[in-house]
Amino acid sequence: MSFSAELKNCALPPHHTQDTLGAAFTELRALLGPENVEIVSTASLDDKSYYDPPKTHDPFHILGQDELVASAVLRPGSTEDVQAIVKLANKHRLPIWPTSIGRNFGYGGAAPRVRGSAVVDLGARMNKVLDLNEPNAFALIEPGVTFLGLYEEIQRRGMKLWVDSPDLGGGSVLGNTLDRGVGYTPYGDHFGTHCGMEVVLPNGEVVRTGMGALPDKNQPTGSANTWQLFPYGFGPFHDGIFTQSNYGIVTKMGVWLMPDPGGYQAFMISFQKDEDLHPAIEIIRPLRIAGILQNTPSIRSATLDLAVGGPRKDYSLTGKPLTSAEIDNAVAKSTTKIGRWSFYGALYGPEAVRDVFWAAIKGAFSKIPGATFHFPSDVPPEKSVLHIREGTLRGLPTFTELEWTNFVPNGSAFFFSPISPVSGDHADRQYKLAKDRCDEFGFDYIGTFTVGMRELHHIVCLVFDRTNEEEKKRAYKMLNLMVQDCADAGYGEYRTHLALMDQIAGTYNWNDNALMKLNETLKDALDPNGIMAPGKSGVWPQAYREVKKRVVSGTSKI
Ligand code: ADP
């Protein structure tokens, strides 16, 4: 296909014509090689699958399929390539959007916020484990290292180290950390367990954070040998500003790994009644803060576990969201021993240590009438979430949880994720708020509460049919209302899909939007041309603030 034919169906970013975009791509092809600059046709977008994720757009599109779409996919091979891309982007005022693997499913995948941005696919060629250190239990990785890839490399080298994986193990360790994702071992806070970054700034300069700023020519990295050991270095600590942000492209990151604890036991506690959520959460809080619950546990609605086991039509033929009676019926029939809520946790350490923790945990939860206690050995493996969690809670990257997206035909996921205190009243309020909106708009409430040290991540797992335009519009309207419902009740989201970024950023508006003013001040200082991921997390550079109104959620075609 000729170059001009390639450009014809390409999404034009703001401020560009086909000619100006073509000039940018010509220089990028000369820099990276033509094979590493793929021009995207909006006429042939393919949603592909989790196993082969598209880098061009959001496969779980809640807006139109071709709204949040790239103009090109760029594949750098080194930090120097990334620097050169950034410099060309400045020269041509080309918006770029970094992605590591692009499996950020339910939050937008690899798709850019601004239609027509060039996606920088860092994972394609920058995917090496640069260092793996068993005695000090850390890794230094490039963006394309997946949880599964890191796990396999550790196994290959026979090291007694664990990875902490989220529910699905195919995403990148680095991308998930930058989006402040969580996993389920004692190292579940991914940002909290990273150590040291290398970042290409929007002007093309490269910085190393923490001890990485101290040169040491005797080390293979050229930085001090404490880069992955001590996160803070000297002076202002910047790592946080490179997460959920548009202030740089991270090209290397250190990650702490958990030493094999020498023993492990996953468990499930099943609660029979919907109302048991309240007392369960009240019991969880002191146990978690005291460290008796050693990992990041979760308490999941029956609908989530049923959805992993099969499509909705296996439980009801009405074609409508499951009723409470249908859920009770499905739970009663299930061989997996789940309840209306099921709590998944694990014990870590030698048997004697585990026994002490288990006695405390079992004793505490036994106060809830009807609670039942299970180890994987008591539950048949077929369709059993406990068996999947048995792997996840010891850091084994798996893909099985993807099944719940098949709950409805052409199932697509959208995560809505407000934060609340760990209290029964708040969990009830969160649940009611989400469930009432789901009932009103005709969706199943599917959810899980992931327990951090002192807060609940309530993850509402909305599943919708991406081929049904009416259903998508309905879902999006519901989500807009839920953001406001939550903000009115004092809850804010910890992370979001692209389509809600502006609205959610707008809710964090204490003291006349002081936080956004700071974000914009930083943005304009670091990125005066506004080329780096404009609009990410609702932060728009000066050059886009006038067009912002036209690229806000739902009307991104301009
Ligand atoms: P995953 O690797 O889990 O598939 P993504 O690659 O989709 O995750 O990235 C998750 C989020 O982090 C996205 O918002 C993306 O823009 C951002 N991101 C990913 N990699 C980088 C990077 N190397 N530098 C800056 N931001 C990144």
Number of other CB atoms surrounding residue 234 within 10 Å: 9
Residue 352 CB-density burial (10 A; 0-12 exposed, 13-18 middle, 19+ buried): exposed
Average pLDDT for 200-226: 98
* Ligand 1 center from residue 148 Cα (angstroms): 16
Q: 55, 99, 145: which to mutate for ligand 1, most atoms within 8 A of CB? A: 99
The pair phi, psi for residue 334, each rounded to 5°, is -65, 140
Q: How do residues 193-202 score in pLDDT, each as one tens digit?
A: 999 999 999 9
* Ligand 1 center from residue 133 Cα (angstroms): 25
| Domain 3-124 class in CATH | alpha beta
pLDDT band at 558 (very low <50, low <70, confident <90, very high): very low
More confident: 553 or 402: 402
CATH 3.30.465.10 spans which residues of the chain?
Answer: 129-259
The pair phi, psi for residue 200, each rounded to 5°, is -90, 120
Q: Radius of gyration of the chain from Cα atoms?
A: 23
**Contact (CB, 8 A) for 86 and 249:** yes
Q: What is the atom index within ligand 1 of the atom nearest the CA of 122?
A: 23
* Ligand 1 center from residue 99 Cα (angstroms): 4
CATH assignment of 129-259?
A: 3.30.465.10
The pLDDT > 70 percentage for the chain reads 98
184 annotated active-site = no
Helix, strand, coil fractions of the chain, as percent rounded to 5: 40, 20, 45
Check residue 546 and give its pLDDT.
74
pLDDT band at 500 (very low <50, low <70, confident <90, very high): very high
Check residue 554 and give its pLDDT.
47
Quick one: which H or E segment has residue 365?
helix 351-365
Residue 547 in this model has a pLDDT that exceeds 80? no
The fold of the 264-497 domain, in CATH, is Vanillyl-alcohol Oxidase; Chain A, domain 3 (3.40.462)
Q: 52, 104, 117, 532: which to mutate for ligand 1, most atoms within 8 A of CB? A: 104
Q: How do residues 438-486 score in pLDDT, each as one tens digit?
A: 999 999 999 999 999 999 999 999 999 999 999 999 999 999 999 999 9
Average pLDDT for 412-420: 97
Check residue 549 and give its pLDDT.
59
pLDDT band at 70 (very low <50, low <70, confident <90, very high): very high
Average pLDDT for 33-62: 94
* Ligand 1 center from residue 16 Cα (angstroms): 25
CATH 3.30.43.10 spans which residues of the chain?
Answer: 3-124
Residue 24 in this model has a pLDDT that exceeds 90? yes
Q: 73, 100, 125: which to mutate for ligand 1, most atoms within 8 A of CB? A: 100
User: Of the listed 247, 264, 348, 494, which one is catalytic?
Assistant: 494
User: Of the listed 75, 107, 315, 348, which one is catalytic?
Assistant: 107
* pLDDT mean across residues, the chain: 96
CATH 1.10.45.10 spans which residues of the chain?
Answer: 503-550
Residue 545 in this model has a pLDDT that exceeds 90? no
* Ligand 1 center from residue 428 Cα (angstroms): 33
Beta strands in 111-220 (DSSP E): 118-121, 129-133, 138-141, 161-162, 194-200, 206-208
Q: What is the atom index within ligand 1 of the atom nearest the CA of 251?
A: 23
Check residue 125 and give its pLDDT.
98
Q: What is the atom index within ligand 1 of the atom nearest the CA of 199?
A: 24
Considering the segment(s) 503-550 as one domain, its CATH architecture is Orthogonal Bundle (1.10)
Beta strands in 58-122 (DSSP E): 72-74, 96-99, 118-121
Q: What is the pTM for the complete model shown?
A: 0.97
Residue 409 in this model has a pLDDT that exceeds 90? yes
> Rounded CA gap, 91 and 24, in Å?
8
Check residue 551 and give its pLDDT.
55
Check residue 550 and give its pLDDT.
58
432: which DSSP letter?
Answer: H
508 annotated active-site = no
Average pLDDT for 332-345: 97
**Contact (CB, 8 A) for 189 and 182:** yes
- Of all protein residues, the one whose alpha carbon is nearest to atom 25 of ligand 1 is 249
* Ligand 1 center from residue 101 Cα (angstroms): 7
Q: What is the atom index within ligand 1 of the atom nearest the CA of 249?
A: 24
Check residue 552 and give its pLDDT.
52
Ligand 1 pocket, CB under 6 A: 98-104, 110, 122, 143, 171-172, 174-176, 178-179, 249-250
* Ligand 1 center from residue 250 Cα (angstroms): 9
The pair phi, psi for residue 97, each rounded to 5°, is -135, 110
pLDDT band at 256 (very low <50, low <70, confident <90, very high): very high
> Rounded CA gap, 231 and 120, in Å?
27
494 annotated active-site = yes
- Of all protein residues, the one whose alpha carbon is nearest to atom 14 of ligand 1 is 179
354: which DSSP letter?
Answer: H
Average pLDDT for 203-221: 98
The pair phi, psi for residue 129, each rounded to 5°, is -85, 110
CA nearest 72: which of 14, 9, 144?
9
Residue 242 in this model has a pLDDT that exceeds 50? yes
- Of all protein residues, the one whose alpha carbon is nearest to atom 10 of ligand 1 is 175
Average pLDDT for 17-31: 97
Q: How do residues 262-316 score in pLDDT, each as one tens digit?
A: 999 999 999 999 999 999 999 999 999 999 999 999 999 999 999 999 999 999 9
